[in-house]
Amino acid sequence: MAKRVGRYTLRMENKPSIVGYAAICGKKEGQGPLSQFFDKIYEDTTLGESSWEKAESRLQTEAVTTALRKARLQADGVDYIFAGDLLNQCISSTFGLRSLDIPFLGQYGACSTMAQTLALSSIFVDSGAARRCVAVTSSHFCTAERQFRFPLEYGGQRTPTAQWTVTGSGAAVVDQEGTGPYVQAVTIGRIVDLGIKDAANMGAAMAPAAATTLLDFFHDTGTKPEDYDLILTGDLGQIGSDLLYDLTQREGVSIGSKHKDCGLLIFDRQSQDVHAGGSGCGCAGSVLCSYILNQVREGTLKNILFMATGALMSTTSSQQGESIPGVAHLVQIKSRG
Amino acid sequence: MAKRVGRYTLRMENKPSIVGYAAICGKKEGQGPLSQFFDKIYEDTTLGESSWEKAESRLQTEAVTTALRKARLQADGVDYIFAGDLLNQCISSTFGLRSLDIPFLGQYGACSTMAQTLALSSIFVDSGAARRCVAVTSSHFCTAERQFRFPLEYGGQRTPTAQWTVTGSGAAVVDQEGTGPYVQAVTIGRIVDLGIKDAANMGAAMAPAAATTLLDFFHDTGTKPEDYDLILTGDLGQIGSDLLYDLTQREGVSIGSKHKDCGLLIFDRQSQDVHAGGSGCGCAGSVLCSYILNQVREGTLKNILFMATGALMSTTSSQQGESIPGVAHLVQIKSRG
């Protein structure tokens, strides 16, 4: 049973273990620095499907089935799947996972979804409510552009603060039994809104939530950045990362030397023209469930904080002049329990 | 700690108690048969806000604060809030709840959301992962019409199978301590898709999922409809309810004499021109968190099954010719633990 530490943090007591994980990505991600770590790279953004939305669903299907296969498990051995994505009514998840016949709990945390689904899977497994859960999320550049921004054919200019939505999916299988990586603790975030209204600057909108959750975690656990090998954020990008340093520094916490951001790891900003970095649920999902968990499994990283952030707005709220609320959820992952 | 019963059902072991609940509704709901049971009825669909979306957010704010007040609790005593709605990126929840400063877990289950949020709140409280959670959902006729169907000004004709989206919100506070109603068991549904494509016939799309989850529950627990005082579905409406009878009858299970549907309770179909009945997350939410839980609290209903169903599609998936996947989650609620 998970044990409460401080106001916002739950410490796992029964070593929920990530027994399988997978990342499936698109062509641009396959041309980036993490190429060799992905389980599969599709050269065609449609994945051979008749729409981008079906392609994104397919990314989730493949991420889950690959993660299960790597864990030597079948879908019928999974008690619950926690899944979500950025599309209206989360259709990437519902259509991508409908054939698996696993009890389904749809999640919406925007780009924080990989942390949210992994957190819930871990809490369920740790408490005994489930023997085994799957956490999965995805994003797709073309579905996100169509839904949130402009038709691709329009060829709109991107602002320097804009981020590039990752075409990818990450999935992780969390089990009561296993040899790690282990989920050690979880901090669920509160919604934070400092009034940012620029929908082309998500990093700035999400950084205050990231700072809040990270400081909550340090306060609850009485630890500091030096106690961890890595503090990994989901997709703050360059601008959001810089803001996170500023906001935590104001509270006397220096994270700069320990921090990396999935949005800055997945693309080479110099050569890949992605402006402030990568974004989308699939960014944190695919980077965690490949390059990062590999290192935790091997023990190169022994104790990390994975914190994905979400911007909780819609095109309607932005058109109505609303600001962008952010949220961030944190999952501590260790190589040994 | 919750105990697994059969393949799909979790039995609560520590009597999670619904210590407060509230329902806030709009004018049309206030003219219906359940009028006297709602905590507040707004005569103006905007609730005095500048958009329908802000009005829907306000419904959630008020439902949560009213439920907390009735439970004599403050927001800072809540460990997690599980919330969701029908709007793109769940903005009714994120904007409605951002000021409460409660750790936030956004849920997407379409119209099954009240059952999903109540199920997760109960599992968290039962397992000790939380001392107290809030479950909340909402819908609004005008935001749903604008997003999913036609501009209201267009005055489109509604088909006989169409349902009327409820303007309302329901919230429930689940606590480790309390005198009931108690959540006794939870069955999380699998996605079921029998190929229905008519977005104006949600009842038909959701009925197969309802039948699957209900039969799972009866199979897991070795019980039958006669063991319960009421089997309450969320918003199948008349057509979906009739289909649910047919589908369960084929498996030798007769639920007709025990079944009611929130979508048929909330409006008078004869006088209120709602065609097949009410719908929307706020339908199941507001009917459960008023008329129904009142009767469980008083002991008039001693043992009920509350099962809300969701249609997991979007306008994009329908425009692309996809069928409508459904899901249903079930929560058993008792007056005494």
Please tell me the predicted confidence (pLDDT) of residue A268: 96
pLDDT for residue A156: 86
pLDDT of residue B333: 98
Please give the Cα distance from B214 to B332 (Å, whole number). Answer: 11
Portion 240-279 of B in contact with A at CB < 8 A: none
- Predicted pLDDT at A337: 56
A92 part of contact set with chain B, CB < 8 Å? no
pLDDT tens per residue across span A50-82:
999 999 999 999 999 999 999 999 999 999 999
Res B212 pLDDT > 70:
yes
**Predicted confidence (pLDDT) at residue A1 exceeds the cutoff of 80:** no
Would you say A202 and A174 are in contact if contact means Cβ atoms under 8 Å apart? Answer: no
Whether pLDDT at B318 is above 90: yes
Hey, of B88, B206, B330, which one would you mutate to test binding to chain A, going by the most A CBs within 10 A of its CB? Answer: B88
Query: Span A157-174, mean pLDDT?
Result: 95
Yes or no, beta carbons of B325 and A2 under 8 Å apart: no
In degrees, rounded to 5, the angle at the alpha carbon of residue A291 between the alpha carbons of residues A288 and A293 is: 55
- Split at pLDDT 50, 70, 90, the class of B2 is confident
Most B-contacting residue of A56, A101, A104, A118 (CB-CB within 10 A), to test interface: A104
Amino acid at site A43: E
Of all residues in chain B, the one with the smallest CA distance to A106 is B108
Distance of alpha carbon B335 from alpha carbon B322, whole angstroms: 42
Report the pLDDT value the prediction gives residue A195, as an integer from 0 to 100. 94
Q: In chain B, which among 185-204 make CB contacts under 8 A with chain A? A: 188-191, 193
- Average pLDDT in chain A: 96
DSSP letters along B179-219, please?
A: S--EEEEEEPPPPB------TT-HHHHHHHHHHHHHHHHHH
Q: What is the value of pTM for the model shown? A: 0.98
Distance CA B120, CA A255 (A): 34
Share of chain A above pLDDT 90, in %: 94
Of A283, A166, A276, which Cα lies nearest the Cα of A232?
A283
Chain B residue whose CA is closest to A111: B89
Task: Please state at what angle helix B141-148 crosses helix B52-70, rounded to 10 degrees.
Answer: 140
Each residue of B13-70: pLDDT tens digit? 999 999 999 999 999 999 999 999 999 999 999 999 999 999 999 999 999 999 999 9
| pLDDT, position B156 | 86
The answer to whether the beta carbons of residues A52 and A45 sit under 8 Å apart is yes
Percent of chain A clearing pLDDT 70 (strictly above): 100
- Going by the DSSP 8-state scheme, the letter that residue B289 receives in this structure is I
- Interface check for B148 against chain A (CB to CB < 8 A): the answer is no
Residue in chain B closest to A82 (alpha carbons) equals B107
A216 is written with which tokens? 């909550």
- Asked if B325's CB is within 8 angstroms of A95's CB, the reply is yes
Residue with tokens 């997991």: B312
Contacts of B325 (CB under 8 A, 6+ apart): A94, A95, A98, B191, B192, B193, B205, B209, B311, B312, B313
> How sure is the predictor about B337, in pLDDT bands with cuts at 50, 70 and 90?
low
Chain B partners of A127 at a C-beta cutoff of 8 Å? 1-2, 123, 127-129
